[in-house]
Amino acid sequence: MAIDRAHVGYSLPAFTVEATPERIAKFRAAIGETGGDVRVAPPTFMKMVEGEHNSSRRILDTLAVDLRRVLHAEQQFDYVSPILAGDQLDVVRKVSDIYERKNGLMEFIVIESTISHAERGLLGRSRQVVLVRNPKPAVAA
pLDDT at position 2: 87
pLDDT at position 140: 59
For 98-120, the pLDDT digits (tens) are: 999 999 899 999 999 999 999 99
Amino acid at 110: V
Cβ atoms within 10 Å of 89's Cβ, excluding its own: 23
What stretches in the chain show pLDDT beneath 50?
A: none
d(CA 86, CA 52) in angstroms, rounded, equals 16
The domain covering 5-133 belongs, at the CATH homologous superfamily level, to Hotdog Thioesterase (3.10.129.10)
Domain ranges in the chain? 5-133
